[in-house]
């Protein structure tokens, strides 16, 4: 009988380098992404932004919100980072399986089940709405179910072939948006009038008011492919210096091409994952991995990482918790209690909201830490 998750009452298998040591840079990056997502779910960034409006810090905290359309902010890198890290972790996992003699057919079965549950939870996350049940394909887990399978199926091909396929997906995206000419949806980079919106009408009979489209999974599969290639590189026999140089070179080239396309032919738009956005965000992911790998695994700066890693090691659990339990009950309930207590001591409204968000975050982090202490890890 299939299960929604697996409980591991033992030490969770973790990414390893060829020397057998744990790849903490990956744990840290995954944990950082999840910590930021948990903070965002509490409303903390909104409250902080309100607190600094009109000051020089407004330009800093606006980076924690998606760009409304053409442009790139820090928060637009979270989903690419999530998918990139998934590819890197997949590469390390498949490497372990190969060392253990696991046949490809069994690895495929495991990946198919994983992608199936990712799709299920992604749909379920958006399914329950105040107006009733809904079928939507915009959740990151739904997108990841596609990108992971694509990256897995081509994983054993040569590096050149995988890079070619990733760029082929970007070329396909350009073709679909520019040359399909569907009446009413023939403006490739205009919100509510592009090919992605048209496909959403066919798949879900609705268009996302925020401009997100389901076929983002096509170009962003490149993120997972590039993450898997980065994982292969880190597992290779190359020296650490060579690995970091190659990551930096690939990242800089992707940034140059991505931002160059934004200035010339294809605007950077996260909400429809244009090819220029995919390249630019992928470039930042590669640079981020290079920096973290150098600082944490090469230079051995490993102190104070647990704050992030305990969240990253239960990433699926905490994501579903904040999306389903947190957004529908926990965050509001705890905030009511915290606001009530703080109001008794005449706490200013803005500060009260910030502190309440921090209380919610602390409890959710503590939940992850509790699971970590008990050696309980949820995975699909």
Q: How far apart are CA 41 and CA 216, in angstroms?
A: 22
Q: Could you tell me if 144 and 83 are in contact, meaning their C-beta atoms sit under 8 angstroms apart?
A: yes
Evaluate if residue 73 carries a pLDDT over 90. Answer: yes
Strand extents, DSSP E, 128-200: 128-129, 132-133
Residue 246 confidence (pLDDT) above 70: yes
Q: Is 367 helix (H, G, I), strand (E, B) or coil?
A: helix
Of 3-12, 67-76, 352-361, the least confident: 3-12
Q: What pTM was computed for the model?
A: 0.91
Task: Give pLDDT, residue 21.
Answer: 53
Least confident of 183-197, 199-213, 223-237, 301-315: 301-315
Q: Are 301 and 295 in contact, with CB atoms under 8 Å apart? A: yes
Model confidence at 150: pLDDT above 80? yes
Q: Are 319 and 34 in contact (CB under 8 A)?
A: yes
Q: Where are the chain's structural domains?
A: 19-379
pLDDT at 171 over 90: yes
> Are 222 and 250 a contacting pair, CB within 8 Å?
no
Q: Which residue has the tokens 């949820």?
A: 378
Residues 28, 11: Cα–Cα separation, whole Å: 17
* Cα–Cα distance, 112 to 350 (Å, whole number): 47
DSSP annotation string for 82-109: HHHHHHHHHHHHHHHHHHTT--HHHHHH
């Amino acid at each position: 009988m299939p299960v929604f998750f697996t409980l591991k009452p033992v030490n969770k298998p973790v990414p390893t380098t060829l020397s057998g040591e744990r790849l903490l840079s990956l744990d840290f990056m995954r944990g950082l992404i999840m910590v930021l997502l948990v903070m965002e779910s509490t409303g903390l960034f909104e409250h902080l932004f309100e607190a600094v409006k009109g000051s020089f810090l407004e330009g800093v905290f606006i980076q924690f919100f998606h760009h409304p359309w053409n442009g790139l902010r820090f928060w637009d890198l979270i989903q690419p980072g999530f998918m990139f890290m998934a590819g890197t972790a997949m590469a390390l996992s498949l490497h372990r399986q190969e060392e253990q003699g696991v046949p490809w057919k069994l690895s495929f079965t495991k990946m198919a089940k994983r992608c199936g549950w990712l799709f299920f939870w992604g749909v379920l996350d958006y399914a329950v709405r105040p107006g009733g049940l809904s079928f939507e394909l915009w959740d990151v887990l739904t997108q990841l179910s596609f990108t992971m399978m694509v990256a897995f199926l081509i994983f054993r091909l040569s590096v050149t072939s995988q890079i070619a396929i990733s760029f082929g997906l970007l070329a396909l995206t350009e073709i679909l948006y520019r040359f399909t000419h569907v009446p009413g949806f023939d403006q490739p980079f205009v919100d509510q009038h592009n090919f992605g919106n048209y496909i959403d009408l066919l798949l879900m009979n609705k268009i996302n008011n925020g401009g997100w489209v389901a076929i983002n999974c096509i170009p962003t599969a490149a993120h997972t492919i590039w993450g898997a290639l980065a994982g292969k590189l880190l597992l290779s026999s190359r020296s650490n210096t060579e690995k970091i140089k190659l990551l930096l070179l690939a990242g800089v080239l992707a940034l140059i091409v991505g931002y160059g396309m934004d200035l010339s032919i294809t605007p950077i738009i996260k909400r429809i994952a244009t090819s220029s956005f995919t390249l630019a965000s992928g470039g930042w992911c590669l640079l981020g991995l290079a920096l973290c790998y150098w600082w944490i695994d090469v230079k051995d700066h490993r102190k104070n990482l647990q704050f992030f890693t305990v969240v990253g090691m239960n990433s699926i659990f905490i994501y579903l918790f904040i999306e389903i339990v947190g957004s529908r009950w926990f965050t509001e309930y705890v905030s009511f209690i915290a606001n009530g207590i703080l109001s008794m001591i005449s706490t200013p409204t803005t500060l009260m909201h910030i502190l309440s968000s921090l209380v919610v975050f602390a409890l959710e982090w503590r939940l992850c830490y509790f699971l970590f202490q008990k050696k309980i890890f949820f995975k699909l």
